[in-house]
Amino acid sequence: MNRPRPIEYASATPQVREVFDDIRATRGVPDVNNFWKYLAADPALLKRTWETQKAVLAPGALDAVVKEMVYLAVSVTNSCEYGIACHTALARKAGMTDQMFTELMAVIGMANQTNRFADGFRLPIDEAFNK
Amino acid sequence: MNRPRPIEYASATPQVREVFDDIRATRGVPDVNNFWKYLAADPALLKRTWETQKAVLAPGALDAVVKEMVYLAVSVTNSCEYGIACHTALARKAGMTDQMFTELMAVIGMANQTNRFADGFRLPIDEAFNK
Amino acid sequence: MNRPRPIEYASATPQVREVFDDIRATRGVPDVNNFWKYLAADPALLKRTWETQKAVLAPGALDAVVKEMVYLAVSVTNSCEYGIACHTALARKAGMTDQMFTELMAVIGMANQTNRFADGFRLPIDEAFNK
Amino acid sequence: MNRPRPIEYASATPQVREVFDDIRATRGVPDVNNFWKYLAADPALLKRTWETQKAVLAPGALDAVVKEMVYLAVSVTNSCEYGIACHTALARKAGMTDQMFTELMAVIGMANQTNRFADGFRLPIDEAFNK
Amino acid sequence: MNRPRPIEYASATPQVREVFDDIRATRGVPDVNNFWKYLAADPALLKRTWETQKAVLAPGALDAVVKEMVYLAVSVTNSCEYGIACHTALARKAGMTDQMFTELMAVIGMANQTNRFADGFRLPIDEAFNK
Amino acid sequence: MNRPRPIEYASATPQVREVFDDIRATRGVPDVNNFWKYLAADPALLKRTWETQKAVLAPGALDAVVKEMVYLAVSVTNSCEYGIACHTALARKAGMTDQMFTELMAVIGMANQTNRFADGFRLPIDEAFNK
């Protein structure tokens, strides 16, 4: 079997179901998305990843919508199709409007462009940035 | 001459000085940073890049500090040393606190990790994300 | 014609067939996979790439399964869909078990996460690592 | 303060020292490397990252040296200078010989080359890889 | 609505139509490609992006076909499926022959391979390259 | 020994010297650059890499300067500091003028920006690009 397979709730072990239940309760969704069904192939990896995600995306100094937009910015820069689809949806759910989305895309595009200029022109770092 | 060279204000053409002046006024800084001094090798590229940057980073639906943190997230994901140094400083200036910085790093790290899981497990995109 | 096209054995030149025959014999497969059929558009590129691949993946200080897992780790990090599909299959064939696969994914994810922390926190390299 | 700063053991809180002590004991080193000193700016991030790293790199279906070489392969592909320096050292410590190192580099280089061929030639995935 | 939607000419505002008309006239095509239809969600982003593209790809010291091949090289290295499809077609239209295409792929592959060797072997930059 | 070490001509084996001699003769330089001195740690890898490089960069359907500029575009997109320094110098030697350099940078920047827009807006590929 070459292609990884998802594990559905119905056939999951109690250890996996416990994580699935927590994801569903935390996010208020009837079923977990594919990401978690595939990671369930390794229950310890599933549990660790969910606990990190839960801690990292919990309310803090940054708003939920800001965290999701940063997540989306990384996914776009990595050209990760699943991450883009998933975190566009999660950012929308957290309050990202149409205008916020296009402004976000504009910043992502700009940053990717100027990062290459910085490397291509072999820029030395300004003193002020090292303080 | 293999390595690109910066153009300082004193030796710049009027066309380049005009852009430098606008950057200094917009950002309230006594001198432009290296990025602009190197791009000045091509005055049209300098002008175009600054005008795009000014429009993209202007106040809008996203706060200045959010835009700078997104810029930093992209720079980190691209492993762009100059971009990281520059936009950490600009985000600080726009109000990023120590806690916001470490929360931002945590989200960037998490996203880079789960993007690879998504690709490595060959995840199909959930129906709900395509609506 | 915008999209590249594959060259099948039946319509291949003797020069291309010779490479296809060697791939089939070396790997013990009835037909070569798409990668080689597309590269055949340039017989010299096909031959050079196959010879490098054959030399690099031949038995040495690293086991075949280790080499294939490293290949997969690179493909995941590059977000290369074809490379991921192909080298998951080749790693399986070389002996990668389910547990080895999920442990590999865990390392890949961890490395991608901590690479970004290293860049984002602008870490100086420890003296010990330069010896 | 634009540039992140390290936290040394002498000035660390008990919570941070506990993690530093565990890293030193687990790895048998007199001091932790810079990576951990900078992450200590956020004690929760430090603790979470170390616990994940410890679990992921613990003995399992893959040898310690294989895990470190995969870590190095990812770091090279991400062009992460710190990760390359650190995990070359850790892989050496885990048993990577000169020959294993150059074979590893050869595989990494080959994979990065053929990933681009796969994308550039727009390869459809072979049926066999989807089973 | 999670997935971005295209804006067709028939339902576009006068501001968007003006940009679409200029793209059609400049490229001599009956309709704009999807890239522009999606960017039209933000008319200012659309206009800015098209004006930059038009200026950057205009005749200059580099031929149109060279610029399109460089565009393709970047798209392949970023693993950007749309960019690869689009700029293969535009490069073909600008005169890229079959042989030029396979030579281009060979250079892209070689560069991606040797970039990783350079990082993995931790190469110091030669004095001569800094002059 | 954690850090790889270069092999100088004086202490090289006859097998390595043979490759170094060919590089010096082909490029008309008194000494090889660091890239080759480090790869010499594995004489077979050195020989294979040089032979591929020589074949790929030889005169063909693309000019030497075009090949070097594509090499530079890939190195910039990969954020590979050594590759950027080396291939800026080689492109200069092959005839890249100041204006060609800044036009090249403009195209690289533009492509990196629009690649992200293409992924972020989740663009479907136009029918015409698949023909």
3-class SS letters over chain B: CCCCCCCCHHHCCHHHHHHHHHHHHHHCCCCCCHHHHHHCCCHHHHHHHHHHHHHHHCCCCCCHHHHHHHHHHHHHHCCCHHHHHHHHHHHHHCCCCHHHHHHHHHHHHHHHHHHHHHHHCCCCCCHHHHC
Q: Would you call A32 an interface residue with chain B, using a CB distance cutoff of 8 Å?
A: no
- C97 chain-D contacts, CB cut-off 8 A: 61
Sign, CA dihedral E71-E77-E83-E87, equals positive
Q: Give the residue from chain C lying closest to B76, CA to CA.
A: C120
User: Which residues, 6 or more positions from D17, have their beta carbon under 8 angstroms from its beta carbon?
Assistant: D9
Write the DSSP assignment of C13-72 as a string of letters: -HHHHHHHHHHHHHHT-SS--HHHHHHTTSHHHHHHHHHHHHHHHSSSSS-HHHHHHHHH
Please answer yes or no on whether C123 and D39 come within 8 Å at the CB atom: no
| pLDDT of amino acid E123 | 98
Inspect the interface and report whether the beta carbons of C3 and F130 lie closer than 8 Å: yes
Contact at CB, F113 and A115, closer than 8 angstroms: no
What pLDDT score was predicted for residue B59?
Answer: 87
Q: Kindly give, in sequence order, each residue whose CB lies less than 8 Å from that of residue F10, ignoring residues fewer than 6 positions away.
A: none
Q: Do C105 and A45 touch (CB under 8 A)?
A: yes
Alpha helices in chain A (DSSP H): 14-27, 34-39, 43-57, 64-77, 81-93, 98-120
Q: What's the pLDDT tens digit per position in D81-105?
A: 999 999 999 999 999 999 999 999 9
DSSP helix/strand/coil, C89: helix
Report the amino acid identity of residue F83: G
**Rounded to 5 degrees, what are φ and ψ at F124?**
-75, 145
Distance between CA atoms of C62 and D105, rounded to whole angstroms?
Answer: 11
Q: Which chain A residues are closer than 8 Å to E49 by Cβ?
A: 109
Structure tokens that stand for A85 in this block: 């689809």
pLDDT, averaged across chain F: 97
Residues 60-119 of E with CB under 8 A from F: 60-62, 66-67, 69-71, 73-75, 77-78, 80-83, 85-89, 97, 99-100, 103-104, 106-108, 110-119
What domains appear along chain A, each with residue ranges and CATH number?
1-58 (1.20.1290.10), 60-122 (1.20.1290.10)
- Count of CB pairs separated by less than 8 Å, A with C: 24
pTM above 0.90, yes or no: yes
Q: Which chains have at least 3 CB atom pairs separated by less than 8 Å from chain B? A: A, C, D, E, F
DSSP E10: G
Strand, helix or coil at D78? coil
Which chains form contacts with chain A, at 3 or more CB pairs under 8 Å?
A: B, C, D, E, F
pLDDT digits (tens, 9 = 90+) for A2-20: 999 999 999 999 999 999 9
CB atoms within 10 A of CB E10: 6
- Beta-carbon-side half-sphere exposure of residue F117 (alpha carbons within 13 Å): 26
Angstrom distance (rounded) from CA E101 to CA E92: 9
Could you tell me which of E55, E56, E89 has the C-alpha nearest to residue E72? E89
Q: What size, in residues, is chain B?
A: 131
- Residue B13 pLDDT > 90, yes or no? yes
Q: Which residue of E has its CA nearest to B53?
A: E48
Minimal CA–CA distance to E91: which of E76, E78, E111?
Answer: E76
Task: Tell me whether residue A14 is exposed, middle or buried, using C-beta atoms within 10 angstroms of its C-beta: 0 to 12, 13 to 18, 19 or more.
Answer: exposed
Mutation for testing the E interface, residue in D86, D103, D119, D121 having most E CBs under 10 Å: D119
The closest alpha carbon to C78, from B116, F46, F113, belongs to B116
Contact B41, A120 (CB under 8 A): no
Contact assignment for E120 to D85 by CB distance below 8 Å: no
Nearest-CA residue of chain F relative to D92?
A: F2
Interchain pair A2, C79: CB under 8 A = no
To test the contact with chain A by mutation, choose from C29, C76, C77, C79 the residue with the greatest count of A C-beta atoms within 10 A, namely C79
pLDDT in tens, A33-77: 999 999 999 999 999 999 999 999 998 999 999 999 999 999 999
Buried b (16+ CB within 10 A) or exposed e, B24-43: eeeeeeeebbbbbbbbbbbb
The pLDDT tens digits for B29-52 are: 999 999 999 999 999 999 999 999
Cβ–Cβ gap F116/A88 under 8 Å: no
Placement of tokens 């091509």 in the chain: B42
Instruction: Judge: B42–F79 Cβ closer than 8 Å, yes or no.
Output: no
pLDDT number for residue A11:
96
How many angstroms separate the CA of residue E39 from the nearest CA in chain A?
8
Q: How far is A13 from chain B (nearest CA, A)?
A: 20
Query: Residue A114 — very low, low, confident or very high, per pLDDT cuts 50/70/90?
Result: very high
Angle value at C-alpha E47, between E44 and E53, nearest 5 degrees:
135
Nearest to A79 among E3, E45, E78 (CB): E78
Q: What is the pLDDT of residue A109?
A: 98
Given this model, what pLDDT does residue A59 score?
87
C-D C-beta contacts closer than 8 Å: 195
- Which positions ≥6 away from C15 have C-beta within 8 Å? C43, C47
